Amino acid sequence: MTIPESGGARRRYESPVREARARRTREHVVATAGRLFAERGYAGTSVRQIAAAAGVSLETVTQAGRKADLLLAAFRAGFAGDPDAVDLDALVGPAGPADLPAVVSRLAEGVRGSLPIWRAFTTAAAADPAVAAVRAELAVARRTETVARLEAAGFAASARLADAIGLLTSHEAYDHLTTVCGWPHEDYVAWTAAAIGAQLTLDWRGKPEPA
């Protein structure tokens, strides 16, 4: 809707109701895309199939983003509960050293909730350069944020420390220990919290800090 202004100028009127409806529609499209990606894989899911399953037009799906964008949004929704999340704040919130077990628990829940879409993400990245680029950007962003969080919590952070923590809390580690090895979810959380705690006592070279 537009409202005429003096002198013939026109400005766009943004309706909160319309914006909320558009947001719900996009979330529905993303959720549908995520389900299809997890069930059929990225290559086996077309934009037309997403539109049909979501009960919306093809144009509505394309307005929500490219296929690779929908894959990333579906991952973010599964991991952080928000298809537009750009960091971990929506999942873990502010935290200090004493919050490590609770933070790991929340991260593990996010990993468990997004594991099917991450598998599709990984397979797609191996075959689609656009998805591979998005996945690489996601990894860099997560490393940068982990370093910032560690520094904010009072640790002498480094990229190497962030990489070690990223490995321990990765989907690959969770999938291997819980799916392949059969660890209960709670055991993974306890072990990962202890392993990260041990990493925090090392300097960037991986040597114990002096007492």
Provide the mean pLDDT of the chain.
82
Dihedral sign computed on CA atoms, order 95, 27, 126, 180? positive
pLDDT of residue 211: 44
Q: Which pair of tokens denotes residue 161?
A: 């420390």
- What percentage of the chain has pLDDT greater than the value 70? 82
- Read off the pLDDT of residues 93-105 as tens digits, 9 standing for 90 and up: 444 556 788 888 9
Q: Between the ranges 10-14, 122-126, 184-188, where is the mean pLDDT highest?
A: 184-188
Mean pLDDT of 156-180: 90
Confidence band, pLDDT 50/70/90 cuts, at residue 82: confident
Asked if the structure places residue 1 within a domain, the reply is no
Asked if the structure places residue 65 within a domain, the reply is yes
Confidence band, pLDDT 50/70/90 cuts, at residue 87: low
Residue 210 has pLDDT above 50, yes or no: no
Burial call 12-27: b when 16+ CB within 10 Å, e when fewer:
eeeeeeeeeeeeebbb
pLDDT of residue 197: 86
Confidence band, pLDDT 50/70/90 cuts, at residue 157: low
Asked if the structure places residue 2 within a domain, the reply is no
Asked if the structure places residue 204 within a domain, the reply is no
Q: Which amino acid is at 63?
A: Q
Q: Name the least confident of 9-23, 51-65, 115-129, 171-185.
A: 9-23
Tell the burial category of 88 from Cβ atoms under 10 Å away from its Cβ (0-12, 13-18, 19+). buried
- Read off the pLDDT of residues 127-151 as tens digits, 9 standing for 90 and up: 999 889 888 888 888 888 888 877 8
Domain that holds residue 189: 16-199
Mean pLDDT of 52-61: 95
Confidence band, pLDDT 50/70/90 cuts, at residue 201: confident
Residue 11 has pLDDT above 70, yes or no: no
Asked if the structure places residue 208 within a domain, the reply is no
CATH number at residue 52: 1.10.357.10
pLDDT of residue 203: 60
Number of domains in the chain: 1
Asked if the structure places residue 10 within a domain, the reply is no
Asked if the structure places residue 98 within a domain, the reply is yes
Residue 84 has pLDDT above 60, yes or no: yes
pLDDT of residue 47: 95
pLDDT of residue 147: 83
CA distances from 89 to 12, 24, 82 (A): 32, 21, 11
Asked if the structure places residue 52 within a domain, the reply is yes
